[in-house]
């Protein structure tokens, strides 16, 4: 039995568990960048002119005369006759405004070394590298591939490319050599910037060897620039068409490159989506609309201010890093943080140590990480002073209510709003979330569409569903940050995103992101996951996200993954793979509580056929659970490719456990 000293803590936990909505703290609202509820009505009444508010956050070389050109829908154009340069907007103008000595990027390497770039430092190095790229032959509209981990040279290279009008294509450093070759061939990219290696959990990884293997699969000559990250730890050889980054920058030190004037509709970057079959999709984002939208959402949702130290703990290899580590924060002139390593090295308090050390104001991370933090326990954040935090955010997947409340309480001390943001590579920026200075927060629900965004939940025929019902998420109007097309594949662009619910004959174009969702009576949208992440049990389509949320709501459960397995009677049955919190046993008692919890939350139809306790789940290097492999295990089928996993050994361990339990 707990002693009296535990009573307030127990009461607090009970109150949080019962509460289903939270008001933004008054102190936050008072200082919020956006706090007038009238913004929703204003944007609706003045659409699309409302998006001038986003464009006004940028400096334009030539002002635009038309906000939206929808004459060739769904190939929409935003601010089309305006011109600007993204590098100028992220660097030069802040120097001109007297902030040259303000930190632009604070970087910490995994071993603990640090680098700080002021806006003046960033200006010098971006200019020098832009001059070097030009000398190597990079011209306007040439695609430069960047295959790098979380080192400062990555955003420097991005901004150098933008300065000379060369689109960049960042390939996540965790991707394979084949993935690099595929993307370089698809983009016809003749330039690569990479590095010798980087640190991961104390080990020095040889990245150049992987890049070299990838280059052997590229069907044209490539000029390659290599950043020396590891020094004497890893000797590397520079062959023909290889150039040392530091030598290039030194050779062009002090040079200034005039920012190239780009049309708002000129391509800023390509980002190839992963996880699809066949050829990856090259998502094309443009200079004006994308940059304006990244800046506006950073301002309105993340409440970023120039004086902040802001940390998005994502990887620049993904769209989150593009929009909310590089372009959004730097366009607003804030200090953006980068960290090279993992959250649990050298200990599980590394993130909180950095928040404390740098006095971080805004922290934006993934539910995958938050569930790991929960599993590790509160002792790690409790070691550090997190009182500098003003706002918390989540990105990448829906967050279940229990993880949301843990984050709100143990990281934000119940004084930081939490923005649960839904968006995609294709949308360029956030689409559905609360505005932290305005809306109540509902754990588990992302929130309403942002001002100016028209989103709804519809049934299979395209009609809006009733409150509380599940359906398909759609976006009914264009928005500035949207992808313009798929690179060199307009037909696939239409068939992938616009065909399902659009009526071209009526000139009605509806964007379909392929996510399931439900909407409540307040217009708050809960995203249930990809529409193919459903299990068909006895004719009932059950979203895996909903079942997983119910399981994680059971005390003692840290994380869960749910898949469908073949069943003679039901067609499919629910298989749940569960990680327990520290101090809890994966025993029959917990198994029964999980089954009862799903029954109570969703109904008996969703009760798991089998609950498998495991210390780990198979995850890609970006932290996504690879459910396909868990389906293979549930169906006792040959295991698919595990090469993209960061922990491939766990798959066979789980398979053996399932086989053992089946034989009992």
Q: Among 169, 156, 98, 100, which residue's Cα sits nearest to residue 130? A: 156
CATH superfamily of domain region 533-663: ANL, C-terminal domain (3.30.300.30)
User: Which pLDDT score is estimated for 622?
Assistant: 59
Check whether 275 has a pLDDT greater than 70: no
Check whether 530 has a pLDDT greater than 50: yes
Check whether 177 has a pLDDT greater than 60: yes
Check whether 521 has a pLDDT greater than 80: yes
Report the pLDDT averaged over residues 519-537. 85
Cα 233–Cα 195–Cα 237 angle in degrees, nearest 5 = 65
Q: pLDDT confidence of 460, banded at 50, 70, 90?
A: confident
259-272 residue pLDDT tens: 999 999 999 999 99
Check whether 514 has a pLDDT greater than 50: yes
User: Which pLDDT score is estimated for 290?
Assistant: 98
112-131 residue pLDDT tens: 999 999 999 999 999 999 99
User: Which pLDDT score is estimated for 479?
Assistant: 98
- The residue ranges of DSSP E strands in 568-638, in sequence order, are 571-580, 610-613
Question: Start-end ranges of CATH 3.40.50.12780 in the chain?
Answer: 8-99+261-470
pTM, full prediction? 0.86
Distance of alpha carbon 189 from alpha carbon 220, whole angstroms: 9
Alpha helices in 217-318 (DSSP H): 245-251, 287-300
Distance of alpha carbon 488 from alpha carbon 585, whole angstroms: 53
Q: 300: how many CB neighbours lie within 10 A of its CB?
A: 24
Alpha-carbon separation of residue 379 from 171, 375, 385, 554 (angstroms): 36, 11, 12, 21
Q: pLDDT confidence of 1, banded at 50, 70, 90?
A: very low
User: Which pLDDT score is estimated for 115?
Assistant: 98
Residue owning tokens 């294709």: 426
Distance of alpha carbon 257 from alpha carbon 175, whole angstroms: 32
Report the pLDDT averaged over residues 471-497. 95
Q: How far apart are the first and last CA of the chain?
A: 36
Alpha-carbon separation of residue 496 from 153, 280, 534 (angstroms): 34, 12, 19
- The least confident of 3-7, 13-17, 37-41, 447-451 is 3-7
User: Which pLDDT score is estimated for 528?
Assistant: 82
Most confident of 201-215, 277-291, 538-552, 596-610: 201-215
The token pair at 224 is 């390659």
Question: Start-end ranges of CATH 3.30.300.30 in the chain?
Answer: 533-663
Q: What is the mean pLDDT of the chain?
A: 91
The token pair at 34 is 């956006």
DSSP 381: G
Query: Cβ neighbours of residue 362 under 8 Å, at least 6 residues apart?
Result: 302, 303, 304, 308, 310, 311, 389, 390, 391, 392, 393
Alpha helices in 456-502 (DSSP H): 490-497
Q: pLDDT confidence of 493, banded at 50, 70, 90?
A: very high
- The least confident of 25-34, 169-178, 297-306 is 169-178
Q: 565: how many CB neighbours lie within 10 A of its CB?
A: 21
Q: pLDDT confidence of 432, banded at 50, 70, 90?
A: very high
Check whether 2 has a pLDDT greater than 50: no
Task: Determine phi and psi for 460, rounding to 5 degrees.
Answer: -65, -20
Report the pLDDT averaged over residues 345-350. 96
User: Which pLDDT score is estimated for 315?
Assistant: 93
Check whether 443 has a pLDDT greater than 50: yes
User: Which pLDDT score is estimated for 7?
Assistant: 53
Check whether 511 has a pLDDT greater than 80: yes
Report the pLDDT averaged over residues 190-215. 96
Q: 213: how many CB neighbours lie within 10 A of its CB?
A: 14
- Residue with the larger pLDDT of the pair 620 and 277: 620
- Residue with the larger pLDDT of the pair 142 and 572: 142
DSSP 3-state of 13 = helix
Report the pLDDT averaged over residues 38-46. 98
Q: What percent of the chain has pLDDT over 70?
A: 94
Q: Among 280, 662, 631, 658, which residue's Cα sits nearest to residue 640? A: 631
CATH superfamily of domain region 8-99+261-470: ANL, N-terminal domain (3.40.50.12780)
Q: 210: how many CB neighbours lie within 10 A of its CB?
A: 20
Q: 5: how many CB neighbours lie within 10 A of its CB?
A: 7
Measured in whole angstroms, the distance separating CA 511 from the mean position of its chain's CA atoms is 20
User: Which pLDDT score is estimated for 386?
Assistant: 98
Distance of alpha carbon 319 from alpha carbon 309, whole angstroms: 21
The overall longest dimension of the chain from CA atoms, in Å, is 73
Report the pLDDT averaged over residues 193-217. 95
Q: For the chain, what's the residue count?
A: 664
605-661 residue pLDDT tens: 889 999 999 988 888 765 678 888 888 888 888 877 676 677 778 888 888 888 777
Report the pLDDT averaged over residues 57-68. 98
Alpha helices in 19-152 (DSSP H): 26-31, 39-45, 52-55, 86-87, 93-96, 119-136
Half-sphere exposure of 230 (CA within 13 A, CB side): 21
CB 429 within 8 A of CB 328: yes
Strands 391-395 and 362-365: parallel
Q: 283: how many CB neighbours lie within 10 A of its CB?
A: 23
DSSP annotation string for 525-570: EEEEEETTSEEEETTEEEEHHHHHHHHHTSTTEEEEEEEEEEETTT
Report the pLDDT averaged over residues 582-593. 92
Check whether 546 has a pLDDT greater than 80: no
């Amino acid at each position: 039995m707990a002693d009296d000293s535990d009573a307030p803590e127990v009461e607090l936990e009970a109150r949080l568990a019962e509460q289903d909505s939270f008001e933004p703290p008054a102190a936050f609202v008072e200082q919020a960048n956006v706090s007038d509820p009238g913004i929703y009505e204003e944007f609706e009444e003045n659409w699309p002119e409302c998006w001038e508010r986003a464009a006004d956050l940028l400096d334009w070389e030539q002002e635009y005369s038309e906000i939206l050109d929808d004459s060739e829908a769904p190939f929409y154009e935003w601010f089309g006759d305006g011109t600007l340069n993204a590098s100028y907007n992220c660097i030069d103008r802040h120097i001109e405004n007297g902030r040259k000595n303000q930190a632009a990027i604070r970087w910490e390497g995994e071993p603990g070394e640090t680098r700080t770039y002021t806006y003046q430092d960033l200006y010098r190095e971006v200019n020098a590298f832009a001059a070097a790229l030009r000398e190597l032959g990079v011209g306007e509209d040439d695609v430069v591939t960047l295959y790098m981990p979380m080192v400062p040279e990555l955003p420097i290279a991005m901004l150098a490319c933008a300065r000379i009008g060369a689109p960049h294509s960042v390939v996540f450093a965790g991707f394979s050599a084949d993935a690099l070759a595929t993307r370089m061939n698809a983009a016809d990219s003749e330039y690569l910037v990479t590095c010798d290696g980087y640190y991961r959990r104390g080990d020095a990884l040889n990245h150049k060897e992987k890049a070299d293997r990838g280059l052997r699969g590229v069907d044209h000559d490539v000029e390659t620039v290599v950043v020396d990250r590891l020094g004497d730890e890893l000797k590397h050889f520079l062959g023909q068409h290889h150039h040392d980054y530091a030598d290039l920058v030194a050779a062009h030190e002090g040079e200034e490159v005039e920012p190239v004037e780009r049309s708002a509709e000129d391509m800023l970057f390509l980002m190839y989506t992963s996880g699809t079959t066949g050829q990856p999709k090259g998502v094309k984002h443009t200079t004006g609309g994308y940059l304006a939208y990244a800046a506006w959402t950073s301002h309105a949702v993340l409440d970023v201010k120039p004086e902040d130290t802001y940390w998005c703990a994502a990887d620049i290899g993904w769209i989150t890093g593009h929009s909310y580590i590089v372009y959004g924060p730097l366009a607003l002139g804030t200090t953006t943080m980068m960290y090279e390593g993992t959250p649990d090295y050298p200990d599980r308090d590394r993130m909180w140590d950095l928040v404390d050390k740098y006095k971080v104001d805004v922290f934006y991370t993934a539910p995958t990480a938050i569930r790991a933090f929960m599993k590790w326990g509160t002792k790690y954040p409790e070691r550090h002073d997190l009182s500098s935090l003003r706002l918390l955010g989540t990105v990448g997947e829906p967050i279940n209510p229990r993880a949301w409340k843990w984050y709100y309480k143990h990281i934000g001390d119940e004084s930081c709003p939490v923005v649960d943001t839904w968006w995609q590579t294709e949308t360029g920026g956030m689409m559905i979330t609360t505005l932290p200075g305005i809306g109540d927060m509902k754990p588990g629900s992302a929130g309403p569409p942002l001002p100016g965004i028209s989103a709804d939940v519809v049934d299979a025929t395209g009609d809006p569903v009733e409150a509380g019902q599940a359906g398909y998420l759609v976006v009914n109007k264009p928005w500035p940050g949207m992808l313009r097309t798929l690179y060199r594949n307009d037909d696939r662009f239409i068939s992938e995103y616009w065909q399902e619910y659009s009526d071209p004959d009526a000139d009605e174009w509806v964007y379909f992101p392929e996510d399931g969702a439900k909407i409540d009576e307040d217009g708050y949208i809960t995203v249930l996951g990809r529409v193919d992440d459903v299990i068909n049990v006895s004719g009932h389509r059950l979203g895996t996200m909903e079942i997983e949320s119910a399981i994680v709501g059971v005390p003692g459960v840290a994380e869960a993954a749910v898949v469908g397995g073949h069943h003679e009677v039901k067609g499919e049955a629910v298989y749940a793979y569960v990680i327990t919190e520290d101090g809890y046993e994966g025993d029959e008692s917990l198994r029964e509580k999980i089954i009862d919890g799903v029954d109570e939350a969703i109904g008996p139809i969703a009760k798991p056929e089998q609950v498998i306790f495991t210390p780990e789940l198979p995850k890609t290097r970006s932290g996504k659970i690879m459910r396909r492999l868990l389906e293979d295990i549930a169906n006792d089928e040959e295991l698919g490719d595990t090469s993209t996993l960061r922990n491939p050994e766990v798959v066979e361990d789980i398979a053996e456990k399932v086989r053992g339990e089946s034989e009992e």
